[in-house]
Structure 1
Amino acid sequence: MGYFGLILAGGEGRRLGGVDKALVPLGGQPLLAHVMARFAPQVERVAISANGDGARFAPWSQGCPVLPDPPAHLHEGPLAGILAGLDWAQAQGAQGVVTVAVDTPFLPHDLAARLAGEGPALAMSSERRHPTFAAWPVGLRDEVAQALRAGERRLGRPLQGARAVVFEAPPDPFFNINTPEDLALAAGRAVR
C-alpha cells in the first residue's frame, strides 16, 4: 500500500473564540468537509487526528477513523497526532501518511501525488516551508517518538533533510484560517 492521509484537526481555535476549527462553517459546510472533499480523493484511506469525541465529525468524516493522541503525549500538539497517524498507517500496512491541516480549505488537488514517494517530503510555497503538509514514511515513527520524548513539539525537526516540493499556484493553496478576518477572506475566495 502507498500513503494514507491524515487530517490534523486538533487545533483549539483560540483566535476564533475557542471553537473546534474542524467545525467552523465556510460557505455552509464545516472546514472539515472542505478539506475532506479535496484530500480524500488523493489517498486510499484518511484518518482524522483529534482528541475528544470523534462522533462530532461523523456527518463529514466519510466513516474514517478519528485518532486521539497517544496517551503518553496527550495534547502535545500536531507531532503527537502524527505519531498516532504513523502507528495507524503502519498497522494497516501503509508506507506512511501525508498530512494536511483542517483549516486549509484550498489545499492543492495534487498534494499527495507530489509529496508521496521515497522518503520524507514537505510542501513549500514561494514564501516559506509548510511542514504541516508533508509525507511521513512509517520509518520516521521512532524519530517522531524520540522528538516528543525530548520535549519537541515542532514538526520541522523530524523533517530535517526532507525533500521540498514547491507549489506556486496563486492564490496561496496553504492559506489557513486562524482569525475571523481569515474566515472572511476565505469566504470571499470560496464564492469566486
Structure 2
Amino acid sequence: MVQVADVSAILLAAGTSNRFGAEDKLLAPLAGEPLALHAARRIVELLPKRRIAVCKDTDGALAQLLASNGFKIIVNPHPEHGLSQSLSCGIAEAALGREAAALICLADMPFVSTRHLRELLTRFDPRTAPAVASSNGNAAMPPALFSRALFDKLRNGEGDRGGKALLADAALVHADPDELLDIDRPDDLPAR
C-alpha cells in the first residue's frame, strides 16, 4: 500500500481526439460539465501530494479549467505522437518530486470513482506489485499506478501504447466495465 500523500497523480489530457470530430472532446458537456472535469474531480477528491495535467497548451480553455482545480499544467508539444508522449511528459514532471508512485488517469474516462483510485493505492506494493492496473475483466488498463522504479521505462514508451507493456505484469484491481468506459466518439457520451 502507498499513502496518497506519497503519490503524484497525472491526468493525461493532450490527446488529438481524432475519432470525436471537430469538437474538443474533453470540453464536451457531460452532465452539465466538461468531460475532463469529471476525471479531474476524482483526482482532487483523492488528495494526492501533487496533481499534474498534461495538456496541448497552457492557455487553452482545458488547461485553464484544470489549473483552476489545482493541477500543474505540463505541455505535450507533440500530442500527435500518441499517448506515450503525454505519459513521458507527465512522468518527467513527477520524477522531479519525491513521491514513491505515479497514478496515471485519462481525462476521457469520466466514470472512474475515487473509491476505485483508492483501491489501486491499497493494492500497490513497491516490491511485489510495483505496477497496479484497473481491469474490466478482459484487459489491464488505466487508471494505473506505477512505482518510481518504473519511471524511466514509462518515459521511453512509443505511440499510443504508453505503459501498456508494463501493464502485462501488473497487479489488477477489478472494476465494473461501465466505470472504466472511455469516451472516444460523440455517441459514447450518455444523452446530453
Q: 1:24 to 1:74 in 2, by over 3 A?
A: closer
- Of 136, 142, 145 in structure 1, the residue corresponding to residue 155 of structure 2 is 145
Q: CA deviation at 1:18?
A: 3.1
Unmatched tracts of structure 1, length 5 or more: 188-192
Give the corresponding residue for 1:178. 184
1:128-179 Cα shifts (integer Å, max 9, x gaps)? 322x31112221122123433xxx54131133311111123xx610111112
**Identical residues among aligned pairs (%):** 22
Partner of 1:78: 83
- In structure 2, relative to structure 1, the CA distance for the partners of 1:59 and 1:52 (3 Å cut) is closer
Q: How many residues align?
A: 178
Aligned pair in 2 of structure 1 residues 24, 142: CA closer, same or farther (>3 Å)?
A: same
Give the letter for the 1:109 counterpart: T
| Aligned residues of 2:26 and 2:34 also touching (Cα < 8 A) | yes
Q: Which residue of 2 aligns with 1:190?
A: none
User: TM-score normalized by structure 1?
Assistant: 0.80
C-alpha change, 1:55 and 1:79, in structure 2 (3 Å) is same
Q: Is the 8 A contact 1:4 1:94 kept in 2?
A: yes
- TM-score after normalising by structure 2: 0.80
| Separation (CA, whole Å) in 2 of partners of 1:88 and 1:18 | 30
- Cα pair 1:54 1:66 within 8 Å, conserved: no
Would you say 1:112 and 2:117 are equivalent positions? Answer: yes
Query: In structure 2, what is the equivalent of residue 12 of structure 1?
Result: 16
Equivalent of residue 136 in structure 1, options 129, 132, 146? 146
Q: 1:123 aligns with which of 107, 124, 134?
A: 134
What's the C-alpha RMSD, in Å, of the aligned pairs? 2.2
Equivalent-residue separation in structure 2 for 1:112 and 1:54 (angstroms): 29
Q: Partner of 2:74 in structure 1?
A: 67
SS of residue in 2 equivalent to 1:175? coil
Q: Which runs of 5+ in 2 are unaligned?
A: none
Shift of 1:54: 4.3
